[in-house]
Structure 1
Amino acid sequence: MDISVVIPLLNEEESLQELHDWIAKVMQSNRYLYEIIFIDDGSTDTSWNVIEELSSKNSSVKGIRFQRNYGKSQALDAGFNLTKGRVVITMDADLQDSPDEIPELYNMIIDDNYDLVSGWKKKRYDSVFAKNIPSKLFNAAARKTSGIKLNDFNCGLKAYKSDVVKAVKVSGEMHRYIPVLAKNEGFNKIGEKVVQHQARKYGETKFGMNRFINGFLDLITISFLSKFGKRPMHFFGLWGTLMFLFGFFSAFYIGANKLYKLSQGLKTILVTNNPWFYIALTTMILGTLLFLAGFLAEIIIKSNPQEKHYSIKEKLNF
């Protein structure tokens, strides 16, 4: 199979038929063997009924229905696990991503041998203050932190080699950082393509300003995980050891200084009246706790298997 199109959605009943027809037209005109995987992330409208109808008419349409709303990352992860195409395309279901971009994205993966190609919505039709400015700030921070020179980490229109989507595990709200996850797995040839962005035709956006706050928090998380996710002891153990040693030598100095003064017959104060005593004691305790945290994290990583973080209610055409 040439292409798998993975489409997570939440309450997009009005756009699904049009999106399907558009994708099918592009695929047929280019003679691609394809599948379209719709992942219904707990919709409360008739989105699943539309997917059932589409799948009954077109065997290339497949559906996954979640038990409840788990989030876009979980929807993508479920879709990635079931893809069969050489190239995997992801796009949103709101018709703001153009399926006409698929052939060029496909060629960049197959002919130019990119591992991943991310879309760049250079000209946007979103609100300037609600999305454009926060998005630019977010992308600048993501570039600086990850070292990946992409202009639009948030763009849902991306293309991947099949090996990439099978290697990465997308959880939490990490869908924004799939390029970073791919890089961490050794897929370093990451490209970017300017893509057409369209104004939303139906309904309202499912994302608010809180997604940018969450995005920055996730950026900190993934930055930490990319460096220490497989070896937390290198972070917690290092800082724990340094803090413990600082406290230990501070306490040693306080004790040695008191003994010296006593041997010289000099007047001294109680150790517990010295504020440095409490600083030393606190840093020793914190250092020990950090060291133990790193030790326990290592045990958890090595003993806890990867668990599925979503529940699938129903599948179609798999």
Structure 2
Amino acid sequence: MNLSIVIPLLNEEESLTELHEWIVSVMNTNNYTYEIIFIDDGSTDSSWEKIQTLSKTNPNVKGIRFFRNYGKSQALHAGFAKAQGDVIITMDADLQDSPEEIPEMHDLIVNKGYQLISGWKKKRYDSVISKNLPSKLFNWAARKTSGVKLHDFNCGLKAYKKSVVKNIEVSGEMHRYIPVLVKNAGFNKIGEKVVLHQARKYGNTKFGIERFINGFLDLITIWFISRFGKRPMHLFGALGVLMFIIGFLAALYIGFIKLYKLYNHEPAILVTDNPWFYIALATMVIGTQLFLAGFLGEIILRTKNNEKQYKISETL
């Protein structure tokens, strides 16, 4: 099979039929063998009924329905697990991503040797204040912290080699950082393609301003996971030892001052009246806690289970 097209969605009943017809037209024009996998992420409208109807008329349409809204990352995870195509395309269901971009992205994967092609919405039709400027800042920060040189990390239109999606774990809210996850998994042939971005035709965006706050928090998470996810003791343990040494040296200093004054028959103040006592106590306690945090992190890492973070209600 040439292509698996993975489409996560939430309350997109108005656009599904048009999107399906558009994709099928592109697939038939290019003689692709394909499957379209719709993942209904807890829609409360008639999106699932639309998917069922499309599946009955087109055997290439498949569907996954979640019990409730778990998030885009979990939807992509389920879609990747089900996908069978040699090349996997992800796109949004709101008609803002154009299926006409698929053949060129497919060619870049198959004939140019790329493992991931990420879309770049160079010209956007979103609000400048609420989306464009925060998105530019977000992408700049992502480039600087991850080392992945892309202009648009969060573009939903992407193409993957099959081996890539079968070897990355998309969870939490990490769909924004899939290129970073791909790089961390050892796939380094990552490219970018300018894609057409269209104004939303139906409904309203499902993302509010909080996604940018969450995005930057997730950026810190992905930076930490990239560098220390497999070895938390290297960060927490090192900081803990450093803090403990500082506290220990401060305690030695207090002891030296105490002995010096006793040796010279000078009046000695109480240890608890010396500010260095509290510095020594605080740093040694913090150092011990940091060391234990790293130790517990290592234990959790080695005993964690990989339970899925979503529950599937129905499949087609």
Q: TM-score, length-normalised on structure 1?
A: 0.99
Q: Which residue does 2:174 correspond to in 1?
A: 174
- What is the match of residue 278 of structure 1? 278
Equivalent runs, 1:25-64 vs 2, <5 Å: 25-64=25-64
Measure, in 2, the Cα distance between the counterparts of 1:154 and 1:302.
31
- C-alpha distance in structure 1 between counterparts of 2:99 and 2:133, whole Å: 26
Q: Where does residue 232 of structure 1 map in the other structure?
A: 232
Equivalent residue number for residue 65 of structure 2: 65
Following the alignment from structure 1 to structure 2, what is the Cα–Cα distance between the partners of residues 148 and 229? 18
User: 1:270-293 deviations in whole A, cap 9, x for unaligned?
Assistant: 010011101110110010011001
Q: Which residue number corresponds to residue 3 of structure 1?
A: 3
Q: Aligned partner of 2:267: which letter?
A: K
Query: What do residues 245-304 of structure 1 show as CA deviations (whole Å, max 9, x unaligned)?
Result: 110111011112211210111121001001110111011001001100100110111011
Give distance in 2, aligned partners of 1:304 and 1:219.
23
**1 CA distance for matches of 2:216 and 2:292?**
28
Q: Which residue of 1 aligns with 2:136?
A: 136
Query: Does residue 273 of structure 2 align to residue 288 of structure 1?
Result: no
Q: Unpaired runs of 5+ in structure 1?
A: none
Q: Distance in 2 between matches of 1:310 and 1:50?
A: 22
For residue 119 of structure 1, what is the aligned residue in structure 2?
119
Report the equivalent of 1:256: 256
Q: Which runs of 4+ in 1 moved over 4 A?
A: none
Matching residue of 2:247: 247
Specify the code of the residue in structure 2 equivalent to 1:160.
Y
Please say which of residues 258-267 and 40-49 is displaced more in the overlay. Answer: 258-267
Aligned residues: 316
SS of aligned partner of 2:219: helix
- Equivalent position SS for 1:167: coil
Q: Secondary structure at the match of 1:39?
A: strand
RMSD: 0.6
* Superposed displacement of residue 66, structure 1: 0.2
**Cα deviations by residue, 1:210-265 (Å, 9 ceiling, x for unpaired):** 11111111001100000000100000000000000110111011112211210111
Paired with 1:161 and 1:131, the residues of 2 have a C-alpha distance of 30
After superposition, residues 14-29 of structure 1 pair within 5 angstroms as 14-29=14-29
Aligned to 1:217: 217
Partner of 1:78: 78
User: Structure 2: which amino acid aligns with 1:248?
Assistant: F
| Map of 1:91 onto structure 2 | 91
CA distance in 2, matches of 1:55, 1:308: 26
Give the Å deviation of 1:306.
Answer: 1.2
Residue 130 of structure 1 deviates from its aligned partner by 1.1
In 1, the alpha carbon distance for the partners of 2:310 and 2:89 equals: 22
